[in-house]
Chains A and B, each alone.
Chain A
Amino acid sequence: MLGLETLSGPLQAVGTVGVVLAEALALYVGYGALSHLAQSTILTTVRGD
């Protein structure tokens, strides 16, 4: 995946951990923004503003 298999052991390991970390950060930011947006929309809808 992402060409990591072609790298040597330590580099492949760094790449793997880096990919997982990057995905986790992206999910945290992405879902955070999404939930914030959804929260605002739902509150606006419920309050009828």
Chain B
Amino acid sequence: MELLGLSLLMVGVFVGFGLLIGTLFGFFGMGGSFLVTPALLVLGYPSTVAVGSGLAFVFGTSVIGALRHRDHGQVDYKLAAIMTAAMTAGIELGKSVVFFLEATGMADLVINVSYVGLLALVGLFTLRDAWTDESDDESGASLDLAERVQAIEIPPMVTFRGDVRVSGVIVAAIGLVIGVLSGFLGVGGGFLLMPAMMYGLGIPAAIAVGTDILQITISGAFGAFTYAQSGAVALPVVAFLLVGSALAPASVRAPRTSSTRTRSRATSPQCCSPAVLPSRQTNWGTSTASRPSTP
């Protein structure tokens, strides 16, 4: 028996996986595509389909998250607008890189190596942050970084909620880089955007969470749209992942408001992510629209 072209076993796997990701999202404020994309690669889906489906899943799950957080008033729309514009351009650029690499036959290798490198970098950053937490107080290195960034006077200077004044150019540059990574790796950008806003710009954590989710919703929609134009979204997979993700307890999705500088929590899961598992996927070469037979 099949549902939407997937065996019942795979339906169960995707719903269960979605539940796991939804729970992680609630705890850590991330979309979870950094787990979905490599998982689909391991299951044998083409690189473009894995990335496109990851972005579509991020869009869906962040819509639910944004709806659940909207009443808390923890969104800086100005910051979200700048980040969205910059990330949109970045996603388009990242997508072009993926399709170019696929044409040259190096997409899997480069994407997998990039995943490992990026997650290792974030993991090392987290370890360093945790080490600083143990030996330092709130005046640690990350606070110094935000203060240094805020001291750079490149017009136009923009004031965000929480009385944070930063150069709009720097905010846009950060958004562009995260957008490229989002389009290139199929990640929603949450696990990069959150620490970037908190540590890099000095945005209070509660506002960073709300803005992050809104921004991910918009950029996820755009990312899914660009990949869907090439038929590179496995809709049945996304549908069952969303069913599982939405099942995650609402209690773990509550926004964190108790601390203005939640430090390690925003990045810690990358340390144990299965995304670092090597991909065995080999059949990505010809079609962006095809989906392999159910494993």
A binding-site residues for B, Cβ under 8 Å = 1-2, 4-5, 9-10, 12-17, 19-21, 23-25, 27-28, 31, 35
Contact = CB atoms under 8 A, between A and B. Distances in A.
A24 B242 contact: yes
Contact of A16 (B4, B5, B56): B56
Do most interface residues of chain A lie in helix, strand or loop, or is the interface mixed? helix
Leading 4 A-B pairs by shortest Cβ distance: A13-B228, A16-B228, A27-B246, A24-B63
Given A17-B224, A17-B225, A4 B235 contact: yes
Interface residues of B, number: 30
B60 interface: yes
Contacts of A28: 63-64, 67-68, 246
B229 A12 contact: yes
Interface string B46-78: 000000000010011101100110000000000
B242 A23 contact: yes
Nearest to B245: A27
A12 B230 CA distance: 9
20 contacts: A1-B5, A10-B229, A13-B225, A13-B226, A15-B228, A16-B228, A19-B239, A20-B242, A21-B59, A21-B221, A23-B60, A23-B239, A24-B61, A24-B242, A25-B63, A25-B67, A28-B64, A28-B67, A28-B246, A31-B250
B168 interface: no
Contacts, number: 74
B236 interface: yes
A2 B235 CA distance: 10
Interface in B180-231: 221, 224-231
A20 B226 contact: no
B43 interface: no
A24 B60 contact: yes
Contacts of A13: 224-229
Nearest to B243: A27
Contacts of B56: 16-17, 20
B233 interface: yes
Given A1-B4, A17-B224, A27-B243, A9 B230 contact: yes
Nearest to A14: B225
